[in-house]
Structure 1
Amino acid sequence: MITPDKGRNKPESQKDANRAHARLRDPGERAHAPLKTWRVLRKVRVNPRRIGRLAKAIHVLQNHEATAG
């Protein structure tokens, strides 16, 4: 796992690396945030292999709700 460098007074190269890391991480965090509001995902009691399908179905419903509303 790659983590950004912390602390103050970092060289410009570390700042650039941190910015690149943030650009890669942002889309995933934005996609994950709406899934946390779905109650069914809080206590999933299905085979872990099926969670991906469940998340995809919820994503479709979320997008449909956003475009219809």
Structure 2
Amino acid sequence: CETVRTPYKRHRTRPRLSPGQKAVNRAHARIRCRVEQAVAELKRWHVVDRFRCCPHRAHTIIAAITVLNRIETRR
């Protein structure tokens, strides 16, 4: 079962975020940045345009493509 994680948000009526909450938000931003870069790369190469398979299988294929792409771009 996958979980959805969201950053902490401060509202006008609540006190400021604690240092722990700010640290969680920074960690979330780091992960989100990498995910957004990977999705942008997949969109650029039109990888997911024609997927017609099970989402679990698509996840494995996309993960493999992302790893291979990173290896290739580091050369």
Structure with more relative contact order (C-alpha pairs < 8 Å, separation 6 or more) = 1
**Shorter-chain TM band:** 0.5 to 0.7
Tell me how far apart the structure 2 counterparts of residues 36 and 19 of structure 1 sit (CA, whole Å).
25
8 Å CA contact 1:4, 1:17 repeated in 2: no
Paired with 2:59 and 2:74, the residues of 1 have a C-alpha distance of 23
Gaps of 5+ in 1: none
- After TM superposition, the score normalised by the length of structure 1 is 0.62
Question: What TM-score comes out, normalization by structure 2 length?
Answer: 0.59
Partner of 2:25 in structure 1? 22
Alignment of 1:38-57 (within 5 A): 38=42, 39-57=46-64
Could you tell me the percent identity over the aligned residues? 19
Q: Which has the higher helix share?
A: 1
Spell out structure 1 runs of 4+ moving beyond 6 A.
none
Q: CA RMSD in A?
A: 2.6
- Taking the aligned partners of 2:33 and 2:6, their CA distance within structure 1 comes to 19
